[in-house]
Amino acid sequence: MRVYSGIQPTGRKHLGNYLGAIRHYVTGQEEARAAGDEAIFCVVDLHATTVAYDPAELRDRTYDTVAILLAAGLDPAASILYRQGDVPEVPELTWLLTAVTAHGDLNRMHQFKEKSAQQRELVSAGLFLYPVLMAADVLAFRADRVPVGDDQRQHIELMRDIALRFNARFGGDGEPREILRVPEGVYPTVAARIMDLQAPERKMSTSSGSIEGTLYLLDDAKTTEKKLKRAVTDSENPPRIVRGPEKAGVSNLIDILAATTDRTPDEVEASLADARGYGDLKVAAADAVNATLAPLRERYAELRGDEAAIEEALAVGAEKARAIAQPVLAEVREAMGVGPRG
C-alpha cells in the first residue's frame, strides 16, 4: 500500500494545508511504515513555476516547506521526502502522459479557470498542463493512496482517467496490463476544506485570500487568536453554534475546532450548546489551533536555519525516488514505442 502526496512551496503554508493534507501525511507515513512500506512526499517546485514567481523566493519557500513537513512529523528515514525538480523522470512522464490527456478535460479544470483569471501578464502553458504534471508525480510511483484536501478531487479524478486511458491504449490487446496503477484520493472526513475566515464562502488559500482571513501555520499565538476572534460569523439572534448552509463562517469554526480537538463537528456543537455567543466558539478554536500548532512552530524554528541539513535530506529522498520512478518510466517508454527496444 503506497501513500503519495505533494505540496507546493508557494507562499506561506496555512491551516487548510495542515488540516486538509499535512497532518494526514504523518498518518500515511505511519500506515505505510506498519505495512512495511515507505510513504512518498514531494515538494513540488515545478508546479510553483506555473504562475508568476520569484526564483530566489522559490528556493527559500522550498526550504520553508520542507522544514514545515519535518516539523509536522515527517521522518526522512521512514518516508521518502524529495523535491520534484530533482527527479527528471517526472517531467518526462508528464510529456508522455499528454498523449492520453484530453485537451477538453484540462479546459474543464476549476483550478485552471480560477488561477488563469488571476494572472496579470501571462497564462502559461504550464498552468494548463498542471494536472498532467500532478498525474505524473503520482503515477511515476505506482501509488495506491493520495491524501489531499477536497479542492484536489477534480485533479485526482483526471489522474485516474489518465492512468486508465494509458493502460487501455498501451497495455496490450485483450485484458489491458496495469502499467500504471490507478490511485485513489483519500480525503479528510473533517476539515477537508477549510474556508477563509473573512470570506467563508471561499477556501482558505495561499494565492487568493487576505492575510486576515488566512491562518498561517507560522503566525504567532497572539496573531492566530486575533484572526480567529475577528472571523466573520453571522448576525443570527440568538446566535446558534450549529453548521448549516447559511452559516458558512460558524460551520468553518466548528470544523476547525473539531479537527484540532479530534472530535466530530456534532460533538463540538453539543459541547457548545450552552455557550453565550460566537465569542466562546472563537476562543475555543483559537486555544485549540494554538495548542495543535505549538510543537510544529517550536520544531520549525529549530530546523529551518540548517539549509545544508535540509538539502542533505532532499538528496537522499531524490535518490530513493528516482530508483522507484526509473523502472516505471522505462516500462512506459517501452509500451509507447519511445526510444530503443527494451
Q: Per rule CB under 6 A, is residue 124 in the interface with ligand AQP? A: no
Residue 97 CB, shortest distance to ligand AQP, in Å, is 19
Interface segment toward ligand AQP; rule CB under 6 A; list 14-22, 133-141, 287-295, 334-342: 14-22
256 touches ligand AQP by CB under 6 A: no
d(CA 255, CA 261): 10
Choose, by CB under 6 A, the member of 27, 49, 206, 223 that binds ligand AQP: 206
Question: Is residue 260 near ligand AQP by the rule CB under 6 A?
Answer: no
Within residues 143-172, the interface with ligand AQP by CB under 6 A covers 148-149, 151-152
Expressed in angstroms, the distance from the first to the final Cα of the chain is 28
Q: Are 248 and 200 in contact (CB under 8 A)?
A: yes
Q: Which three cell numbers stand for residue 234?
A: 453571522
> Does residue 8 touch ligand AQP according to CB under 6 A?
yes
Candidate residues 165, 181, 193, 297; the one interacting with ligand AQP per rule CB under 6 A: 193
The torsion region of residue 180 among left (phi > 0), alpha (psi -120 to 50) and beta comes to beta
Instruction: Return the residue nearest ligand AQP (CB atom).
Output: 20
Told to check if 16 binds ligand AQP by CB under 6 A, we report yes
Q: Is 194 in the site for ligand AQP (CB under 6 A)?
A: yes
Told to check if 292 binds ligand AQP by CB under 6 A, we report no
Rounded distance between C-alpha atoms, residue 125 and residue 103, angstroms: 12
Whose grid coordinates read 472563537?
282
**Grid coordinates in use for 160?**
485516474
Cell of 152: 484536489
Among 20, 28, 76, 200, binds ligand AQP (CB under 6 A): 20
215: left (phi over 0), alpha (psi -120 to 50) or beta: beta
Q: In 3D, which of 193, 194, 76, 90 has the Cα closest to residue 132?
A: 90
**Candidates 16-24, 33-41, 236-244, 333-341 — which segment interacts with ligand AQP by CB under 6 A?**
16-24
Contact between 19 and 289 (Cβ < 8 Å)? no
What are the residues binding ligand AQP (CB under 6 A)? 7-8, 10-11, 13, 16-17, 19-21, 148-149, 151-152, 192-194, 203-208
